[in-house]
Amino acid sequence: MRTCWYAGLLWLTGLLLSACQSGTLDVGQSVINPQELLIQSVDSVTVQSATVMRSDSFATYSDVDLVVGSWSDPQTGKVTARTYTSLDFSGNPLAEQTTFQFDSLVLELGYSFAYGDTTSAFTLGVHRLNRALPNQFYYNTSSVPYEATPFLQKTVIPQPGSRTRQVRIRFPDAFGKTMYDKLVKNEIDGNTLNNFLTGFAFTGSSSTNAFVGFTAAATSSGLRLYYHSTAGTDVGTTLTSVQFPIANIHFTQLQRDLKGSALSGLQKKSDIIPSQQTGNTTFIVPAAGLQTRIELPYLSEFARPEDYADLNSAILVLGPIRRDFRDNYPLPAQLELNFTNNQNEILGATIVPGGPTGLSSAIGGYTYDANALTLTDYYTFDLTYYIGQIIKRKISNRPMVLSIPLNPTGNGAPPSLRSLVQRVAIGDRFKANDRLQLKLFITSGI
């Protein structure tokens, strides 16, 4: 009986499946036998790329790092980073004290990161500001006048990963003793500290390309005044200190200079330098405002195979130009596609829809094959929904601009300085290696 029941169930299931597959498969092109469908890939779609310039400013006053250094090359020009900061007053244990003696005044800067060549000498310059920093918003284009000659200077080999995670520079003893005396006389407090010490401009120079980031955290960076007791049994035996941490009022200036470079033609927002003019390469240098523009001019006209049915997926693949993933030039972990216009502005009101449903942003992650004999790396973007809608002529084909994510944390905070000094060069569709491709996976009849 159970055998007959199973046999009946199988017969009924087969009948239902036959009913589900009856009729026509209407895909808007032709009637195709479901048994004769073929999935194939197409990578011949024209992808045009160019380097463009972002001319608007962005906030750097809220970052946790203080960045100095420079980067110069014949293709992208020069980027220089300087940091401006004031000091906080955290208290004065020396007021009216007569049993202490001054020892030293030291500037301490805790390492946060280094990007670029960390094997060459790097000179850190500490300049006194001509005036204290007003409490206001500061941007990558902001600037405050400072003394041309460094008040302090030290040459180091940047080693953020070592046990020695601080750069320490001793002030002239005469200056330190003057500050000590003013503290003892209670002439320096939270209102008058910036009158005595207006703040600093930090600069960095090297014979090679390097950016060094120092943390603004009070636990690692600030001004430390050392002193010891002259009373009782503690005479000269124990050093004590008072710290004046880096203030919340600080910012990093990022200055770009394209003169003499392959991108010197970028003078205004609407300018475009096609990839063919820069060695079949485009660039993303956030600190310099350089971005890559991408267009798919003939997408709606690409050669469909006979009996074309539908688009299964569309993947944009970008090949970054890099020699070794173990270098100290880490690429951005993610890149983001945004719509743009003829002024190369990022149109934040509408995002490029990503994924198969278009409900996510078009963000591509960096991936590399650690087991490959030669470096194999790429960024991939799932543009299935967006490309499919263009092919069906349901939405317009619009130019896009490629940059680092503009809202990486999702709470409206700007990108970090650590990510802004990163850079990536991308091959175009003609590059022998590291090619830029749009790969379409489609269903058609056999």
Question: Residues near 441 by Cβ (< 8 Å), separated by ≥ 6?
Answer: 39, 40, 41, 42, 311, 312, 313, 314, 315
Token pair listed for 283 = 């660039």
Question: Which letter does DSSP use for residue 356 in this model?
Answer: T
Please report the pLDDT score of residue 217 as a whole number.
94
**What is the phi-psi region of residue 280: left when phi exceeds 0, alpha when psi lies from -120 to 50, beta otherwise?**
left
Please report the pLDDT score of residue 408 as a whole number.
77
Please report the pLDDT score of residue 404 as a whole number.
93
- CB 189: neighbour CB atoms within 10 A? 13
Please report the pLDDT score of residue 2 as a whole number.
37
Please report the pLDDT score of residue 8 as a whole number.
41
> Is the separation of the CB atoms in 440 and 314 below 8 Å?
yes
Domain boundaries along the sequence of the chain: 34-55+268-445, 65-257
Please report the pLDDT score of residue 430 as a whole number.
94
Please report the pLDDT score of residue 163 as a whole number.
58
Could you give phi then psi for residue 67, rounded to 5 degrees? -115, 135
Planar angle of CA 75, 79, 80, nearest 5 degrees: 155
> Is the separation of the CB atoms in 401 and 337 below 8 Å?
yes
Half-sphere exposure of 117 toward its Cβ, with a 13 Å CA cutoff?
Answer: 13
Of 446, 333, 443, the closest CA to residue 27 belongs to: 443
For the chain, helix, strand, coil in percent to 5 are: 15, 40, 45
Considering the entire predicted model, what is its pTM? 0.85
Please report the pLDDT score of residue 66 as a whole number.
98
Please report the pLDDT score of residue 425 as a whole number.
96
Q: The tokens 């469909």 sit on which residue?
A: 304
Planar angle of CA 180, 184, 187, nearest 5 degrees: 90
Of 265, 263, 288, the closest CA to residue 55 belongs to: 288
Please report the pLDDT score of residue 233 as a whole number.
58
Beta strand extents in 275-372 (DSSP E only)? 281-284, 290-295, 308-318, 334-339, 353-354, 360-361, 363-368
d(CA 298, CA 390): 11
pLDDT along the chain (446 residues), means of 10: 37 37 40 61 89 90 95 97 96 91 96 93 98 95 97 93 82 98 95 96 97 94 94 66 95 97 96 97 96 93 73 94 82 94 85 91 90 86 95 92 85 87 96 92 76
Distances, alpha carbon 40 to alpha carbons 15, 37, 283, 310, in Å: 32, 10, 32, 11
The CA-to-CA distance between both ends of the chain, in Å, stands at: 45
Q: The tokens 């055998």 sit on which residue?
A: 3
Please report the pLDDT score of residue 50 as a whole number.
98
